[in-house]
Amino acid sequence: MSKRDQRPPVPDRLPAPAIDAHTHLDACGAETAADVARLLDRAGEAGIERVVTVADDLAAARWAAEASTWDDRVFAACAVHPTRTKDFGDAEKSEVERLVRGERVVAVGETGLDYYWDYSPPEAQQEAFRWHIDLAKRVRKPLMIHDRDAHDDVLRILEEEGAPDTVVFHCFSGDAEMARRCADAGYVLSFAGTVTFRNARALHEAAKLVPSDGYLVETDAPFLTPHPFRGRPNEPYCAAYTVHGLAELRGEPVEDVANAVRANAERVFRLPSVTSG
Identity at 101, one-letter amino acid code? R
Residue 258: what pLDDT? 98
H or E, element range at 139: helix 122-139
pLDDT tens, 137-196? 999 999 999 999 999 999 999 999 999 999 999 999 999 999 999 999 999 999 999 999
Pairing of strands 48-54, 18-23: parallel
- φ, ψ of residue 190 to 5 degrees: the values are -105, 120
Identity at 270, one-letter amino acid code? R
Q: What percent of the chain has pLDDT over 70?
A: 98
For residue 275, pLDDT over 80 is answered with: no
Q: Domains in the chain, start-ordered, CATH in brackets? A: 13-269 (3.20.20.140)
Residue 29 contacts by C-beta under 8 Å, 6 or more apart in sequence? 35, 222
Q: Could you tell me the pLDDT band of residue 274, with boundaries at 50, 70 and 90?
A: confident
Residue 1: what pLDDT? 57
Residue-wise burial string across 168-203, b where 16 or more C-beta atoms lie within 10 A, e elsewhere: bbbbbbbebebbeebbeeebbbbbbbbbbbeebeeb
Q: Could you tell me the pLDDT band of residue 40, with boundaries at 50, 70 and 90?
A: very high
pLDDT tens, 83-131? 999 999 999 999 999 999 999 999 999 999 999 999 999 999 999 999 9
Burial of 1 (0-12, 13-18, 19+ CB in 10 A): exposed
